[in-house]
């Protein structure tokens, strides 16, 4: 683990870009709203099992992340107990139980509902088009607890806007909404030159100056083995545009 941690720190230093003054303040504003997402069991060691990154949205009791961050059967009542971890001090954290509220498998998104008081929510971009070359940051928990549960930020640009399709994992996931979206075909994603690592999935991609979220980290281009993502990262990551998250959130308040 020490070798993996050293490799990650060296890689982060190697790919770091000079930070803007605005980014410093942006990180301070956002860090309390970017949380580790995982499972919780009082009989496990550790009790909190890290799965990925999420961030607070909406009324402060919703957390957005990737669908692939969830463990198997997470949507079932008998499935694993989901939770997010709030960092109270350097050594202490608060576990907040969570449950699946809505999913969008086609865009690899999920909304979780967390228990307890509302948390500060991040602002989502609602109108403008993301442009190639735009300065962005991404925040999350690379390789989980290896670096401790403190959010890590990487800085870069939107390198390209490209088109992909994220197919459903199996036929049982082809509900009417999924079939409609498959008919619509591929959709655009953001290609970033900011390096993400395993554990960053589900974290926010935000405008470096304003902090407004423009995307959700979805995947990292890994060349070779999973371990090479730490020792020799490609520096290419992908994010789902935030408009798909806004569409999912709209279903929360839509008439039933």
Six-digit token string for 87: 């960092």
Domain 33-114 has CATH 2.40.10.10: yes
pLDDT level of residue 235 (50, 70, 90 thresholds): low
Domain 2-31+123-253 has CATH 3.40.50.2000: no
What is the mean pLDDT of the segment spanning 147-161?
A: 89
Q: DSSP characters for 56-121?
A: EETTTTEEEE-GGGSPTTTTSTTSPPEEEEEE-SSS-EEEEEEEEEEEEGGGTEEEEEE-SS--PP
Best mean pLDDT range from 80-89, 162-171, 224-233: 80-89
Segments of 167-212 assigned E as strands? 187-192, 204-207
Six-digit token string for 83: 């939770």
Q: What is the pLDDT of residue 29?
A: 94
For the segment 16-34, what is each residue's pLDDT rounded down to a tens digit?
444 455 899 999 999 999 9
Distance between CA atoms of 153 and 119, rounded to whole angstroms? 20
Q: Out of 16-20, 96-100, 211-215, 247-251, which region has the weakest mean confidence (pLDDT)?
A: 16-20
Q: What is the pTM of this model?
A: 0.80
Give the residue range(s) of CATH 2.40.10.10 domains in the chain.
2-31+123-253, 33-114
- Find the DSSP H helices in the chain: 2-15, 21-30, 176-184, 228-231, 242-253
Q: What is the pLDDT of residue 144?
A: 78
Cα angle vertex 170, ends 166, 174, to 5°?
Answer: 80
């Amino acid at each position: 683990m020490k070798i993996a941690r050293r490799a990650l720190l060296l890689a982060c230093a190697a790919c770091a870009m000079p930070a803007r003054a605005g980014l410093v303040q942006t990180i301070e504003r956002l860090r309390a709203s970017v949380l580790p997402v995982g499972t919780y069991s009082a009989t496990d060691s550790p009790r909190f099992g890290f799965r990925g990154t999420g961030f607070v949205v909406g009324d402060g009791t919703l957390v957005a992340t990737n669908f692939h961050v969830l463990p198997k059967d997470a949507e079932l009542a008998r499935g694993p107990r989901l939770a997010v971890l709030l960092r109270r001090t350097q050594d202490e954290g608060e576990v907040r139980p969570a449950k699946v509220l809505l999913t969008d498998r086609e865009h690899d998104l999920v909304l979780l509902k967390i228990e307890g008081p509302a948390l500060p929510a991040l602002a989502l971009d609602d109108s403008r088009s993301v442009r190639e070359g735009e300065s962005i940051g991404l925040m999350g928990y690379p390789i989980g607890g290896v670096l401790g549960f403190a959010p890590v930020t990487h800085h870069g640009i939107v390198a390209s806007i490209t088109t992909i399709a994220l197919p459903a994992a199996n036929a049982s996931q082809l509900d009417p909404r999924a079939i409609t979206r498959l008919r619509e075909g591929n959709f655009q994603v953001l290609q970033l030159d900011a390096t993400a690592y395993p554990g960053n999935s589900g974290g926010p991609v935000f405008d470096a100056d304003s902090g407004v979220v423009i995307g959700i980290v979805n995947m990292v281009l890994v060349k070779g083995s999973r371990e090479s993502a730490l020792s020799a990262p490609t520096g290419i990551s992908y994010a789902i545009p935030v408009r798909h998250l806004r569409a999912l959130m709209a279903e929360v308040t839509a008439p039933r």
